[in-house]
Amino acid sequence: MSEPLMRVVYVSHNTIQGDDDYLSQQIEQILDTARQLNEQAGITGALMFNRGLFAQVLEGPAAAVEETFERIQCDPRHAEVLMVACDPVTARSFDQWSMAYVGMQADVPALLLEIASETGFDAERIDGDAINNALRTLLTDSDGAQAAA
């Protein structure tokens, strides 16, 4: 792939109302759509959900990332989107996943998100690279994460 690659990391608040079952079902749905559309668009990445917060890494050709990001922006299932990183990259971190998922059971990112919520969502203090790296480590080191291509 010769097109320049770009990576976006953002954090957002979940606005899905309902019990855990409904929530899981909605997230399942998000992942289904995401994986299908991302594969077509050449996007890879990871999504993390915990304690009412989402964090997502999107990587791929710049135009595709922008288009996908814009679509996600319009989604009423989350709000108060805060972009924490938005950079050109030379290689993908999640090239095996059209959208990997790290759910509630994973401890490390949960900690990261706690930091995010404690800093009052201050973009300056949330480290996009840290989120990216933590997710990556988690997904490559443990098979426990629900990673799917």
Ligand X SMILES: Cc1cc2nc3c(=O)[nH]c(=O)nc-3n(C[C@H](O)[C@H](O)[C@H](O)COP(=O)(O)O)c2cc1C
Q: Which of residues 64-93 bind ligand X (CB under 6 A)?
A: 68, 71-72, 75, 77-78
Please provide residue 123's backbone torsions phi and psi, each rounded to the nearest 5 degrees: -55, -35
| CA 78 – CA 73 distance, rounded (Å) | 8
Provide the H-helix boundaries in the chain: 20-41, 62-73, 107-118, 128-141
Residue 79's binding partner out of another protein, ligand X, none, with CB under 5 to 8 Å set by partner kind: another protein
Q: How far is the CB of 95 from ligand X (least distance, A)?
A: 15
Task: Considering the complex, state which of residue 30 and residue 138 has its C-beta at the smaller distance from ligand X.
Answer: 30
> By the criterion CB under 6 A, which residues form the site for ligand X?
30, 33-34, 37-38, 47, 54, 56, 58, 68, 71-72, 75, 77-78, 99
